[in-house]
Every structure is written in structure tokens, then in C-alpha cells.
Chains A and B, each alone.
Chain A
Amino acid sequence: MPRRALISTLSVLVFLGAWEIAPRLHLIDMAYTSQPSRVLAASLEAVRNAGFLHDLSVSFSEFAVGFALAVAMGVPLGLLLGVFPVMRYLADPVVMAIYSTPYLALLPILVVWLGIGMPSKMAAVFVGGVVPIVVNTMAGVRQVERCWVLAAQSFGGGKRDVLVKVILPASLPGVMIGTRLGLSRAVLGMVVAEMYVSQAGIGSEIMRYGSAFRIDYLLFYVLVISGFGFAATRSLRVLEQRLWTADK
């Protein structure tokens, strides 16, 4: 494990070093890339600004509501579709059609339907998050080893036992993969919806600094979102670990 951390840190440091030094040596034009030191300076400046916390809380509430809805609806739906073949046949083409359609293309329509306020962002988060959760939960159910189902049945397990005690725990990896994938799409949905049209939030700051070509500020807000996504993914992994150990 220390070796892993060492190599990972080293490779990031090399990247940052090259990025800092290359503009100084005039190998690349700084207007195009900015510099780590400048991004750092911009970050300190932006964090001290009072509007920062407001943007953060707006974005977070949009995300939390949309993603909670996505999990609450996606997991049960995925289990249902995974277990019952007829329902899967009915829903699969529709689900795949939605999955294959870039959900961000819905933004203009969501805005027409829900307005430019927070509901259209929540809807973008929900639409982004729910589909991978459904699809991967379904796939997780289908990847359950057949012999476990047979074993449970031959020991007298009924349909309900098989579902709750075998299929649900065994399809957990699929559920977790779906949640993780849905998470990154949901975060993207939040930011891009805010970039498309909004009055507040991290995405609106990104768009503001983007059109002013302030790469240092823009990268800071991109980093904030990345940190947000990273923290959410980490918490999911911790949860995943808990669920696994509780299983044993």
C-alpha cells in the first residue's frame, strides 16, 4: 500500500511540476493552460468570497434531492426488472433507449418544462443518476451465480427467501457500480444544467469565468466539483465496505 501511494503521488507531482515549469520556459502559452500556482492563488481568493458558500449550498441541495430520488427509484426498479424476465423484456428497449440518449440533451427541454430555477437542475441530476442504477442493478441480479439460487431452493428456500437472502446480497456489487456510475453522471448533470442556464451554483460560476477566459478561476471551480464527486464516491465506497463486512 505505501508503494501504491508513493507511485501515485509521484506521478501527480511530476504532472503538476511539468505544468508549472512549461509556461515559465515558454514551452506553452500560459493564457492557454494557466499554472498550478495561479490556480492556487485564485482558489484562495474565491474561497474568501462570501458567495462561495451560497453557490456550494445551492449546488449541493440540487444534487442531494435529485440523487436521493434516483437511488430510491432506481434500485427497486432494477431488482424488479432483473428478477422478472417478462418485465425486463417490456422495459429493456425503453430503458436502453433512455440510457443511450445523452441525458444532457434533455436540458433545453427540462428548462422549458420546469423553468430556470432549481427544479430543472434536480431533474437533470435525477435523470443522470437513475438510469445507470436501474441498468446495473438489473445486471447485478443477472450475474448472481445460478448454483446459489439452486442451492437455496434445494434447501427449501421459497421465492421470497431466494430474493431477499440470495439475490439481493449477491447483486450488491451491481447496485454499487450503478450507484457510483450514476453519481458521476448526476454530478455532471448538476454542473451542466447550471452552466446551461441558472442564477446560482458552481456551474454558473464556471460558465461566468469560462466566458471571461479566466482559466485559473474556472479550474478552481472544476476542482471544487471534482472534490465534491470524489468525496461522494469515497463515502459510497465506505458504505460498500460496510455492507460487505456486515454480510460476513
Chain B
Amino acid sequence: MKALWLGLLSFATILTLWEAAARLGVMNPFFTSQPSAIAATLGEEARSGELPRNITVSLGEFAAGYGAAVFIGIFLGVLAGRFRTFEYALDPFLWFLYSAPLVALFPIFIIWFGLGARPVIAIAFLLSVTPIAANTLSGIKGINPALVRAAKSFGAGESDLLWKVILPASVPMVIAGLRLGIGRALTGVVVGELFGATAGLGFSIAYYGGLLKTTNMLASLAVIAVLGVVCTQGLSAVEARLDSWRTGPGL
């Protein structure tokens, strides 16, 4: 509860300072806009139907790309964590995908999939599948071997091991991967839309950027931030439930 109030307090402080700075002429509202103007713009765009349409397009692309990445990423990570040979075979590709600027491949995706939602979904998937797979893998490899040995000596089979020891013990790493994946999938959606789309929140940022309308840009950005926070916080709730057996430190 205390965390919630302090968090709200810091948000309120930032917004107030921003508004005040713009009104008092400390910052030029042409470049920085101001919270009241952004709120008014959001209301306007919501009434005109522009905002709901952009949100639907972007969320649909996000859900398709990220959803596929969660399943395939965890599947690959578990497989690689359990089978050495597979890990070694997957490793170079995983690290290439991790370090390669995949967004730079976007022109190729447009050639492959055409303009529209499909290349955006592809880039969102590719960006988010790597951290999920890599984190699942390192979470499994980081498990205390004593836990595995103990379970085995009490007669646990491969499926018991997986569901009762390996997955629960690697929850923090997997969740960290899922969380990174959310950020990267949203990045993929927004950047994909920035470079080649006709609708969506990212498209509207680039569009209004071309018109130098900072208020409209920041309005779309605020919506993207809210979407990101909602997804991430939802994940934290899941984590708290899945990882309730672990105790934290404290000073």
C-alpha cells in the first residue's frame, strides 16, 4: 500500500513540475508539450475513433507476435536446458539473434510478407523470442543441482522433475525473460509501424513527428507506455503467485 502511494506521489510530482515548467515558460511547450494538452488531445482522439483504431491494430500485432514467442521461447529454452546437444546447436543462433539488430532486417521482412501487419508481427516475434528462450535456458542451468538430485533420489521421473522442480526453480529467470520479451515485442510493433505501416500507435508517432506535433506524439507515446505497464504489471502478479515460496533479502 505504501509502495502504491509513494509511486502515485512521484508520478503526480513529475506531471505537476512538467505542467508548471511549460506554463511558466521554463520549457518551450512546442518541444515538450504539457500534460493538460496531452490529456485534451487524448480525449479528442478517443472521441474521433482514431485512438481506439490505433490501439486495436497495435495490440493485435503485439498479441500475435508475443503470444507465439512465449510458447516457442519457453519450449526452446526447456529443450536446450535439458538436452546438451540441442543447447550447443541452438546457442550460436540464439546469440546471433540476441546481438543482431533485427530491426535492421525489417526491409527484408517487407519483401517477404508485404506491407501491413504481417512484417510487424514477424519482427515482434523474433525480437521477443530470444530473451524468453535464453532466460529460460539460463534459469534451468542455474538451478541448484542438489534440488534435482534430491528429487531424483526420491524417485522423480522426467516429467515430475520438469513440472515440480525445474520450472518452479527457474521462475524468476523465465519471468525476467517474459518481461524483457514484452518490452522487445512492443518495440518491434512500434518500430515496425514507425518504418512501414498505415495504422497503429507507432505509425501515428511517426506521422505526427513529420508534422512536428509533439502533443500528438506524446499522447500516442503515453498510450504505449500505459499498455506496456499494464502488461508488465500483469506479469508481476503472475510472478508473485508462481514464486511465492522464495524469500527475499532486505537490509
Contact = CB atoms under 8 A, between A and B. Distances in A.
A96 B88 CA distance: 34
A97 B209 CA distance: 22
B10 A91 contact: yes
| Interface SS majority for chain B | helix
B126 to A, nearest CB: 12
Interface in B58-90: 85, 88-90
Interface stretch (B37-45, B151-159, B160-168, B183-191): B183-191
A202 to B, nearest CB: 9
A229 B99 contact: yes
Contacts of B91: 4, 8
B214 interface: yes
Contacts of B103: 104, 188, 191-192, 195
Interface in A1-46: 3-4, 7-8, 10-12, 15, 31-32
Contact of B101 (A15, A86, A191): A191
Q: Is the interface of A mostly helix, strand, loop or mixed?
A: helix
Contacts of B89: 7-8, 10-11
B3 A100 contact: no
A146 B10 contact: no
Given A100-B232, A218-B107, A12 B92 contact: yes
A192 B183 CA distance: 16
Nearest to B233: A96
Interface string B202-235: 1001101100101001101100110111011100
Interface stretch (B16-24, B49-57, B242-250): B242-250
Contacts of B231: 100
A218 B104 CA distance: 8
Contacts, number: 191
B183 A90 contact: no
A210 B107 contact: yes
B88 A3 contact: yes
Nearest to B138: A177
Contact of B190 (A93, A98, A104): A104
A183 to B, nearest CB: 8
A137 to B, nearest CB: 13
Contact of B218 (A98, A109, A162): A109
B143 to A, nearest CB: 15
Contact of B99 (A32, A93, A107, A226): A226
B251 A167 contact: yes
Contact of A105 (B88, B112, B190): B190
Contacts of B121: none
B7 interface: yes
Given A196-B194, A226-B101, A89 B209 contact: no
A159 to B, nearest CB: 8
A28 B95 CA distance: 26
Nearest to A102: B187
A204 B212 CA distance: 22
B139 to A, nearest CB: 12
Contacts of A94: 7, 10-11, 14
Nearest to A5: B88
Contacts of B26: none
B186 A102 contact: yes
A241 interface: no
A215 interface: yes
Contact of A104 (B108, B112, B187): B187
B100 A102 contact: no
Interface in A148-180: 149, 159, 162, 167
B249 A92 contact: no
Interface of A: 3-4, 7-8, 10-12, 15, 31-32, 83, 86, 89-94, 96-109, 111-113, 132, 139, 142-146, 149, 159, 162, 167, 181, 184, 187-188, 191-192, 195-196, 203, 206-207, 210-211, 213, 215, 218, 221-222, 225-226, 229-230, 233
Which 5 A-B pairs give the minimum distances between C-beta atoms? Answer: A100-B228, A108-B209, A210-B107, A229-B99, A93-B7
26 contacts: A12-B92, A93-B11, A96-B232, A100-B186, A100-B232, A104-B190, A105-B220, A106-B221, A108-B205, A108-B209, A109-B209, A109-B214, A109-B218, A142-B248, A149-B249, A167-B251, A184-B98, A203-B104, A210-B107, A213-B111, A215-B108, A218-B107, A222-B101, A222-B104, A225-B100, A226-B101
Given A97-B229, A188-B187, 14 more contacts: A31-B111, A86-B6, A90-B6, A93-B7, A99-B183, A105-B205, A109-B209, A139-B176, A142-B248, A184-B98, A196-B194, A226-B96, A226-B101, A230-B95
